[in-house]
Amino acid sequence: MPRPIRARIDLAALRNNHAVARRHAGHARIWSVVKADAYGHGLLRTVRALEGVADGFALVELEGALALRQAGVRQPILLLEGCYAPDELPLLAEHGLIPVLHRPEQVAWLSCVALPVPLPVYLKLNTGMNRLGFEAAELRAALAALQRIEGVGDITLMTHFSDADEERGIAEQMASLAAMRRDLPYPLCLANSAALLRFPEAIGDWVRPGIMLYGSSPFPQHSAAALGLAPVMTLESELIAVRELAAGDRVGYGGTYVAPAPMRIGVVACGYGDGYPRHAPSGTPVLVDGRRTVSVGRVSMDKLCIDLSGLPAAGAGSPVVLWGRGLSADEVAAAAGTISYELFCALAPRVPVVEEDLGQG
């Protein structure tokens, strides 16, 4: 018997979520964001599941992009951090990979290399995130330089929002973008999931949803289900032991949980070595036999403990859901003081993955 932990990846749910993005995007085309191994869901399986409906795929890893081309994926591919050295540019042109240019040196690199075919480029503008992107004062010079370079194809302007999911919203960044752009005629690519769902004015020509495709909500105050999104990843395992505690018994490393009264606990084969967050405190929600309970004590590498009070039928072998179908990853992440993006990306290589096609898609 293998260890009972596994991650189920529901490909129909992925397509359902892409259809939700499509409804919000209207006429804009959709870059499906698949960086970080498709947010931990598996790059190739995610791309294959979306191939029939996606307009293009966006990621940061050149090796991932090349692996997609090697696997025969023909849709446009956008490299969100562009390239890191000039000698990558011919490879990009050869494989039809579109770089995001975010600093003047990257434009200069383009003028030093001979490209086999014209290379479309995205020009990223810093409108307030202050991470990557050209400043207003650099933009005209960059465009003038790009227009002089023979190997440069179509230009698209892009920016990224820092607060599309927060109260602050995108108004200041949109104003900054308008001031930078003025009458420039280039297409626009602006919206992440939160902006796509919340700000129709930010839709532009291309959108870049990530987290919503995987069935999570970008907003703390709106559940994924209320947005029509279905969970793609379900992390599940089983109870491998149960134990009766007396009042005052301590649980796990450091004894951070002390039984307030006699109680039964279960031990789940899942720990931080599987990607479950070690910092999830006692009280983090868990499903056993489809019923909700909570974790108790510190998460260890291979195990975590849960409260079985009120669940007398639960025993060794009972199925446990850590997040996914029936228990939103957003809720688990919030209890652990993080976001579902981090939970998904942390899924450990030792967890076997089972592909399914069960969602609403």
Ligand X SMILES: Cc1ncc(COP(=O)(O)O)c(C=O)c1O
Residues that bind ligand X (CB under 6 A): 33, 80, 160, 192-194, 208-211, 218
Alpha-carbon span 344 to 322, nearest angstrom: 12
Q: Work out how close the CB of 59 gets to ligand X at its nearest, in angstroms, rounded to a whole number.
A: 10
Instruction: Closer to ligand X by CB, 102 or 298: give it.
Output: 102
Alpha-carbon span 53 to 55, nearest angstrom: 7
Instruction: Closer to ligand X by CB, 103 or 278: give it.
Output: 103
Q: Work out how close the CB of 192 gets to ligand X at its nearest, in angstroms, rounded to a whole number.
A: 3
Q: Known catalytic residue: 39?
A: no
Q: Known catalytic residue: 124?
A: no
Among 35, 39, 303, 341, the one annotated catalytic:
35
Q: Work out how close the CB of 34 gets to ligand X at its nearest, in angstroms, rounded to a whole number.
A: 10
Alpha helices in the chain (DSSP H): 11-25, 35-39, 43-50, 62-70, 89-95, 104-112, 136-148, 171-181, 193-198, 329-335, 340-345
Instruction: Closer to ligand X by CB, 33 or 270: give it.
Output: 33
Closest by Cα among 12, 7, 21, 8 to 224: 21
Alpha-carbon span 12 to 277, nearest angstrom: 27
Instruction: Closer to ligand X by CB, 80 or 240: give it.
Output: 80
Q: Work out how close the CB of 42 gets to ligand X at its nearest, in angstroms, rounded to a whole number.
A: 16
Among 84, 253, 303, 341, the one annotated catalytic:
253
Long-range Cβ contact pairs of 298-301 (< 8 A, separation 24 or more)? 298/252, 298/253, 298/254, 298/256, 298/257, 299/271, 299/272, 300/252, 300/253, 300/271, 300/272, 301/271, 301/272, 301/273
Query: What are the catalytic residues?
Result: 35, 253
